[in-house]
A and B are shown apart, each in its own frame.
Chain A
Amino acid sequence: MSLLHVENLRVRFPTDHGEVEVVKGLTFDLGRERLGIVGESGSGKSMTGRALMGLIAPPGRVTADRLEFDGIDLRNLPESGLRRLRGARMSMVMQDPKFSLNPVIRIGEQIGEALQFHRSMNARARKQAVLEVLEAVRINEPERVYRLFPHEVSGGMGQRVMIAMMVVLQPDLMIADEPTSALDVSVRATVLEILDDLVRRRGMGLILISHDLDMVARWCDRILVMYAGRVVEECAAEKLHEATHPYTRGLLASVPQLNETRRRLPVLDRAAIGAGT
């Protein structure tokens, strides 16, 4: 059964030079699967994630022919309805825990907040649930980390805290917007493994937004390639190397291989891409 129906999603922002459309008619379906959205900076992939969460603030405008989450029409949902969904049924992990965690609130309290907003439970049960979710993201001393402030933990641990915060209520949909871009290469795999494990075990739908083709191909079932606000390619992850669109081909060609010697890496031929869309 399909979790998310998106038809002709558009996101626009007014500027001094008229309206700019950053997402230009996106259409896709998402089941309880792992969907990767890849594209370069400015391709509209992050804006897509934020639009799905209802986080585009005026003067930005979001329109769609269809925007349904588990049968709920998100287009005309009032803020209070969105608030009930956010955190509880759909959530989002952002790029850099240094900025996405509140610096003056203890980690335990920040995770517990999600429970506070959506469930009526006493303080002790809430703390218990927080400790459990910290353990689920493989934090060894949950009791200690519970009392820490965000600046007292490393980036990798911060991102695991962020993931804990977003899965504590067992949402159906998780959007991960560049979840590892700000992390050290050495901890990226661990964080993705934890995320992947939680998503599969709890049967969530995952949208993994990234600019990293290899990463998306490795951790997702299906891939959308976005370019200039549009989807230019949609394929199964294992078929990525068979991609036909010139932009995808161009991206793939510019990934260096370990066992090769090339004088120069090819760059994108933007004129050819323009012709293809």
Chain B
Amino acid sequence: MAQAARMFGPLATRAAPLVWFIVIILMTFLGLLAITFVIGRVVPIDPVLAVVGDRAPRATYEAARLAMGLDDPLVVQFFRYVGDVVQGNLGRSVSTGRPVAEDLARVFPATLEMATLGIIIGVTIGVPMGVIAAARQGSWIDQIIRVLALAGYAIPAFWLGLVGLVIFYAHFRLVGGPGRINIFMDGMVPVRTGLLLVDSLIAGDMRAFRSAFSHIILPGTILGFFSLAYIARMTRSFMLEQLGQEYITTARVKGAPERVIIWRHAFRPIRVQLITVIGLSYAGLLEGSVMIETVFSWPGIGNYLTTALLNADMNAVLGATLVIGAVFITINKGSDLLYRLLDPRARA
């Protein structure tokens, strides 16, 4: 026994924070469900009417209300709702006629694919740009970032989308038009992940891959531009703050070359801050850019949510809200984990 305690003792102390971490995530999800549940109850849309129609006789209405469990205490209703969600049952969408879960499984990957492309562009270009701008304050690259940041704030996404379509699609025929893929190939690629680029590769269909790529590149780049402008600006200001620190002088005193000063001594400490910024930016993109999705007829979650809202399709609205909330929680907790990995001070 004692030996077992000695063996599992350190394991238990190491596992305890992980268990705690999981408990916190579950609690957060429960909180999210409570909020969507309350929203579902307070909106002035009668869920019974939505099912039976507004010409149903009183008796039918009452029967439906009972069948839907709407006369139960709110607590009972809430836990029934939680049970349904856990089983993946989000109700049926009034406007599409399909289960909301099925709809979301279709539209969310479309947004995920575009947002991921956007964040990849934003990080791979934005971070180095911000670092260089801070290292060479006042240089041409610093000026470019200033202009980009301003443009990122000032230019509306739909305008950039339309202008992009006019130039690169209508005029030069360099990219595909609206939609995720050429309409003749729509629905031809067997769905595995829901990400067209990945699915077409799995199917080995290079023609479909090229078509999907030419459709996603323009909206993806536009999203990438907005996240790049934000990430570069934040990186620049984090780096400037670092470069004024005393330990940068220490590194200079040791005779460190400029490259080491910038990438090891100044960049390493800001990785944690950058993760927050990148995580937030990614979460924002995953929420679905309604503007971009509308302009590009992109069947993503932003589009789905807007349509559902306009049709008072509550099940769909709550389902989409739940997905977006879950994305935020996941990204938040993911960056928490990365913090611990990257910052020795957060490990204690």
Q: Any chain B CB within 8 A of the CB of A165?
A: yes
At the interface with chain A, which of B103-111, B224-232, B244-252? B244-252
Contact B250 A117 (CB under 8 A): no
Partner of B255, one of A83, A96, A100: A83
Contact B345 A53 (CB under 8 A): no
Contact A166 B246 (CB under 8 A): no
Contact B344 A55 (CB under 8 A): no
Given contacts A99-B245, A102-B269, contact A149 B345 (CB under 8 A): yes
Given contacts A94-B246, A149-B345, contact A102 B253 (CB under 8 A): no
Q: Any chain A CB within 8 A of the CB of B340?
A: no
Closest to B247 in A: A102
Interface residue ranges of A161-175 to B (CB < 8 Å): 162, 165-166
Measured between beta carbons, the chain B residues less than 8 angstroms from A102 are 247, 250-251, 265, 268-269
Given contacts A99-B245, A99-B247, A103-B345, contact A113 B256 (CB under 8 A): yes
Q: Any chain A CB within 8 A of the CB of B58?
A: no
Cα distance A85–B255 in the bound complex, in angstroms? 7
Partner of B247, one of A84, A91, A100: A100
Most chain A Cβ neighbours within 10 Å, of B245, B246, B269: B246
Given contacts A94-B246, A94-B249, A94-B250, contact A103 B255 (CB under 8 A): no
Cα distance A86–B254 in the bound complex, in angstroms? 6
Q: State the main secondary structure of chain B at its contact with A.
A: helix
Cα distance A71–B269 in the bound complex, in angstroms? 39
Q: Any chain B CB within 8 A of the CB of A229?
A: no
Given contacts A99-B245, A149-B344, A151-B344, contact A105 B254 (CB under 8 A): no
Cα distance A119–B264 in the bound complex, in angstroms? 19
Cα distance A92–B246 in the bound complex, in angstroms? 12
Q: Sort chain B's interface into a size bin.
A: 20 to 34
Q: Any chain A CB within 8 A of the CB of B257?
A: yes
Measured between beta carbons, the chain A residues less than 8 angstroms from B255 are 83-88, 114, 117-118
Measured between beta carbons, the chain A residues less than 8 angstroms from B249 are 55, 94, 100
Q: Any chain B CB within 8 A of the CB of A101?
A: yes
Contact with B along A90-115 (1 / 0, CB 8 A): 01101010011111110000000110
Contact with A along B305-348 (1 / 0, CB 8 A): 00000000000000000000000000000000000001111000
Shortest A109–chain B CB gap in Å is: 9
Measured between beta carbons, the chain B residues less than 8 angstroms from A88 are 255
Cα distance A92–B342 in the bound complex, in angstroms? 29
Contact B254 A103 (CB under 8 A): no
Contact B253 A86 (CB under 8 A): yes
Cα distance A83–B251 in the bound complex, in angstroms? 11
Given contacts A91-B253, A114-B255, contact A103 B344 (CB under 8 A): yes
Measured between beta carbons, the chain A residues less than 8 angstroms from B264 are 105
Measured between beta carbons, the chain B residues less than 8 angstroms from A86 are 252-255
Contact B253 A104 (CB under 8 A): no
Shortest A84–chain B CB gap in Å is: 7
Contact B265 A117 (CB under 8 A): no
Given contacts A96-B246, A105-B268, contact A55 B253 (CB under 8 A): yes
Shortest A73–chain B CB gap in Å is: 18
Most chain B Cβ neighbours within 10 Å, of A102, A114, A117, A118: A102
Interface residue ranges of A138-189 to B (CB < 8 Å): 149, 151, 162, 165-166
Measured between beta carbons, the chain A residues less than 8 angstroms from B268 are 102, 104-105
Shortest B93–chain A CB gap in Å is: 49
Chain B interfacial positions (CB closer than 8 Å to A): 245-247, 249-257, 260, 264-265, 268-269, 342-345
Across chains A and B, which 8 residue pairs bring their CB atoms closest together, nearest first?
A87-B255, A99-B246, A87-B254, A86-B255, A149-B344, A102-B247, A114-B254, A100-B246
Query: 13 A–B contact pairs at CB < 8 A?
Result: A86-B255, A87-B253, A87-B256, A91-B253, A91-B254, A94-B246, A94-B250, A102-B251, A102-B269, A117-B260, A151-B344, A165-B250, A166-B254
Known A99-B245, A117-B257, A151-B344; 14 more pairs at CB < 8 Å? A53-B253, A83-B256, A83-B257, A85-B255, A100-B247, A100-B249, A103-B247, A103-B344, A103-B345, A113-B260, A114-B254, A114-B255, A162-B250, A165-B254
